[in-house]
Structure 1
Amino acid sequence: MTKRRDLNTLDLFRDYQPPEVAARFEPDVAKGGTLDVKIARVLSEAMSMSGKTRERIAAEMSEYLAQNVTENMLDCYASPARRDHKITLERLIALVDVTGCYELLGFICEFSGFVAVPARYAEVIQLWQTEERLADLERQRQTLRGRVGGLLK
């Protein structure tokens, strides 16, 4: 008699998905097109991912910035055809905060070869960088010891 698999219990090796640490959009979201088109796509995606209406996002951004942001503005920012309407940095910051879509930060960072990770990982990254520097110094030390040889005695 074969044992049936318990469908209510996750298999650690088959079902476990580690959490995504870096904030990134799926590759096809910002693929192809000019930078204007890519920006419009990711803005549109961020608003969709939030689950909020654009009207609600505009209202929350207006409150966040203490200035008027309209649904029409958001539509223009998210339209690849509207090249005359660009989102400002302060509005982008508000959009990230209001939508909780940190993938927007990842999108910006990728242009410089960086990734956006939550602040709680900063010390882990710092520790890794320190250990890498120490390992590099140890390699340099061993190389110099090899060159100097008997001069230290």
Structure 2
Amino acid sequence: MAKAKIHPDQLGFLFEAPAPARGEAALAGIEQRICRTVGSILNSDSRSREVIAAEMSVLLGEEISRAMLDAYASPARDGHKVPMSRMFALVVVTHRHDLLDPLLREIGAALLVGEEVHTARLGDIDREIEQLKEERKRLAVSAPRIRRGK
């Protein structure tokens, strides 16, 4: 399996809105793609799988072994599907959010990490300001002055 480039703190975010999977068999093969992603995450980390498994165990409060990680990384092992909790723990422990994002895009979602949410909120605030400016212009056309007492 080819090693994924190591960019643990850099998420190459795509600004195209992802379209959710629709229709018959739109998510067919997702388990194999998840397995390949797990393999890429594990192969791109310089630490041993035992260390990664130990860190996941601490994070989840349950025992994760190297053998489990090996099974999750193998698309040929149909009986070893990766539970979402363990996928999330693997991403957190390895800081490979960039490899989770493409999987989320298959269901119409995109990943913001940490304080990147503030950037999205800034965009939302800007949209709200524009809408309020438009409303102000519409009202200004017909709004009378408020009478003043002397």
Q: Normalising by the residue count of structure 1, what TM-score does the alignment of the two structures yield?
A: 0.64
Give distance in 1, aligned partners of 2:78 and 2:96: 23
1:7-86 matches, cutoff 5 A? 20-22=10-12, 34-86=29-81
Alpha-carbon distance, 1:122 to partner: 2.3
Query: What is the total number of aligned residue pairs between the two structures?
Result: 124
Note if 1:100 corresponds to 2:106.
no
Cα deviations across residues 35-72 of structure 1 (Å, max 9, x unaligned)? Answer: 11111111111111122222322233233333222222
The 8 Å contact of residues 50 and 100 in structure 1, kept in 2 or not, is answered as: no
Give distance in 2, aligned partners of 1:60 and 1:121: 25
Percent identity reads 28
List gaps (5 residues or longer) in structure 2.
1-8, 15-27, 145-150
Residues 46 and 81 from structure 1, CA distance in 2 versus in 1: closer, same or farther, beyond 3 angstroms?
Answer: same
The 8 Å contact of residues 57 and 64 in structure 2, kept in 1 or not, is answered as: yes
List gaps (5 residues or longer) in structure 1.
1-18, 25-32
Select the structure with the greater relative contact order (CA < 8 A; seq sep ≥ 6). Answer: 2
Give distance in 1, aligned partners of 2:109 and 2:12: 10
Cα deviations across residues 51-94 of structure 1 (Å, max 9, x unaligned)? Answer: 22223222332333332222221111111111211111221222
